[in-house]
Amino acid sequence: MNKYSHLKRDFEQLKAEVRELPGATEYLDGPEVAVGQMILARQLELGYTQQQLADLADVPLEDIKVIQAGLVHSNFGCNIQPDSLSKVFKALKIIGVQPIIDEQAATSMLG
């Protein structure tokens, strides 16, 4: 167990509570949140702060915050630099994305 394991537990508990709000499930299960969580996990794994990641990727700190919050969809009105996401991936040495499918969660979402 790493030193950030409690954050994941706390976040998962918060997500479970938030899912009761209208529209929250669609947002939390969306690709924007999944990408934000992946980037945050890799950032923490490498021991970077958000500011360090922003500096390393040469993107504004605000873009890091928006990406990690899963607010990159145009519906949220948060604009990031067009190449920020690719710069962040490069800085974190993320060269591919392999989804891990949670069959139980996927089945429960279908009804």
pLDDT per residue as tens digits for the range 35-80: 899 999 999 999 999 999 999 999 999 999 999 988 877 667 777 8
The pTM (predicted TM-score) of the whole model is 0.68
Residue 68, in any domain of the structure: yes
List the domain range (segments joined by +) for residue 74: 11-92
- Residues 6 or more apart whose Cβ sits within 8 Å of residue 14: none
- On whether residue 69 sits in a domain, the answer given is yes
The per-residue b/e assignment along 24-43, b for 16 or more CB within 10 angstroms, e otherwise, is eeebbeeebbebbbbbbebb
Amino acid 20: pLDDT: 87
What is the domain count for the chain?
A: 1
Give the span between the Cα atoms of 66 and 86, in whole angstroms.
14
Q: Is residue 59 part of a domain?
A: yes
| 54 phi and psi angles, rounded to 5 deg | -60, -45
96 has pLDDT over 70:
yes
If we measure between CA atoms, which residue out of 50, 49, 58, 68 comes closest to residue 90? 58
Residue 101 belongs to a domain: no
What is the CATH number for 46?
A: 1.10.260.40
Is residue 30 pLDDT above 80, yes or no?
Answer: yes
